[in-house]
Amino acid sequence: MSNIGRFLQAKEPLFDHALHQLEIASGHKGVDVKLAAEITETAARRTKQLGLDPDASGPELYSALLNQVKAHDEHLARAIGGTDPTSIPEMIPLIVTAAQSAPLPKDGWFLKADKARDMLRRHPPLAIMDRLGYHLVSRMLEAEDVTELMLALRFVEDADWLNDFDRLYLDLHLEDFEPRAIRVVPFALEKWGDVAAHFIQKKRHNITHSKEMGAIAVMPMRETHMPGVTLKVMPLLFHYFNEIRLYSSFFKLVQGKKNFGAIVSDTLIADPAHVKITDSAHIHWRVIQRYFGKLPGEQHPEQFEPHVQPEDLHWRRAEQVLYDIDPELEFWQNLDYVAVLKGDTHDTVTFNLMDLALSYSNGIAYSDRYLYHFRESLWNEVFARYLGEKVLEEQLLVKLDNAVIKPEVLTRGGHHAH
C-alpha cells in the first residue's frame, strides 16, 4: 500500500481501484505519488526545524509538535491582547473579536431571520421556552435573538422534536434566503448553563455552527482555565467560517431546482462532510470549492453562473489566517495534509495544526492522538489535485446537478467528528 493509503487507513482494493478511476478520468497518472513525495519532503523540513533528527521516533516528534503548539498558543494569545493564555473568561472574548476581524471572507447566502421565526412559530421549541421562562412563543421571538435560538435547538430540544422540525425545511424556497455576513454568537454561561456539556465532553471543544443561519456558536464552559485555548478555538472558528461558506455556495448553486427545499433538508440532516472512497464517481462539493478557491485569478467554469461566483469559492486555511494575525505561526502554513510514518508499525504523526492544537489542549497521549482533520484534508487534497486535470473537470463540472456533485460520503460508514 502507498503512503497515502497508509495515512488514510484506506481499505484495499477499494483505494487502488478509486485512484485508478481518477487516473482514467483525468488521463494523468501518478498524482498520488507526486503528492506523497511532496508530503515526505515537507515533513522532513519541518522535523529539522523542530531540531530533531529525521529518524526521531513518533513519540519524540509528537512531543516536539505539542511543545511548538504550546509556545505558539501563548504567543498568539498575547498578540490578541491576552495576559493569561489559559484563562477561558479572558481569552474567549478576545478570540471572538480577533476572529470576527480576521482577513477572510465571511459573507454567504442564508435563511432569513423572519423565515426562521416563522418556522419556530409553526413548531414552538417548548424545551427552550421552558429553560428561558417563556409561556408564549411570540413573546420569546420578540425578546430573543432568533439566530441564538436556532443554534440552541440541537442542545435543548429532544430528537423527536428535532425530527419534526426538520420537516419544515422541505418547504423552503430560494426567496427564504438572503445574502449577509456570518455571525459568531457567544452563549452566556449565566443564561444557558451546562446546556452544551454533553456536546463539549464528546467533541472535546465548544464550537458548533448552523449552516442555514450562517452562524457559529461559542458554547459556554464552566472551566475557568484550559491550556491552549486560543489555538484550540480560533482555528475552529476559521474552519467553520469556511464550512458555512462551503454550504452557502452549494445552496446558491441548486437554488433554481424544483426540489430545492428537499436538497437543503437532506444536506443539513445528513451533514455529510467526511469524504471516503468507493467506486462511485461522485465528488464532494468541498473538493470543488478547494480546487477553484486556489486557482489564480479565481477562475471557474461558466456552468457555475449566474448563481455561484468566484468569491463564493474562495477559502483560506486556518493557519494562513493565523499567520496574518501573528507571523510567528508561519511554521504551520500548508501543513494541513502533511504527516509522516514512524516505526515498524507505520504510525502516522500529523503536522495538522487543528489536530495538534486539540491534542495539546485536551492532554491527549501519543497513543490516542487526533488525526481526523489531517485525514479529511488529505482526502480533499488528493481529489482536488486529480480534479485539476482538464478531462475530469469536463466530466464533472458540465453536469452540475445534485445527482453528480452532491454533499455525501463516498463510502458507507464513517461520521463527522466535529
What are the boundaries of each domain within the chain? 3-397
Alpha carbon distances (Å) from 188 to 63, 194, 196: 35, 10, 11
Spell 90-124 as b/e; 16+ CB within 10 A means b.
bbbebbbebbeebebbbebbbbebebbbebbeebb
Q: Give per-10-residue mean pLDDT for the chain (418 aa).
A: 82 74 74 93 97 96 98 97 97 95 91 98 98 97 98 95 95 95 95 92 89 96 94 92 86 83 82 36 50 51 50 63 91 94 93 95 96 87 71 46 36 34
Let me know: does 384 contact 290? Beta carbons within 8 Å. Answer: yes
Q: Contacts for 375-378 with beta carbons within 8 Å, 24 or more apart?
A: 375/7, 375/8, 375/9, 376/273, 376/274, 376/275, 377/336, 377/337, 377/352, 378/4, 378/7, 378/8, 378/337, 378/339
Q: For 9, left (φ over 0), alpha (ψ -120 to 50), or beta? A: left
E strand or H helix at 411: none
SS3 105: coil
Q: How far are the Cα atoms of 14, 25, 118, 335, 416 from residue 20, in angstroms, in the given order?
A: 10, 9, 50, 26, 26
Q: Are 24 and 402 in contact (CB under 8 A)?
A: no
Which amino acid makes up residue 39?
I
Residue 306 to residues 105, 300, 310, Cα–Cα distance (Å): 20, 12, 11
DSSP 188: P
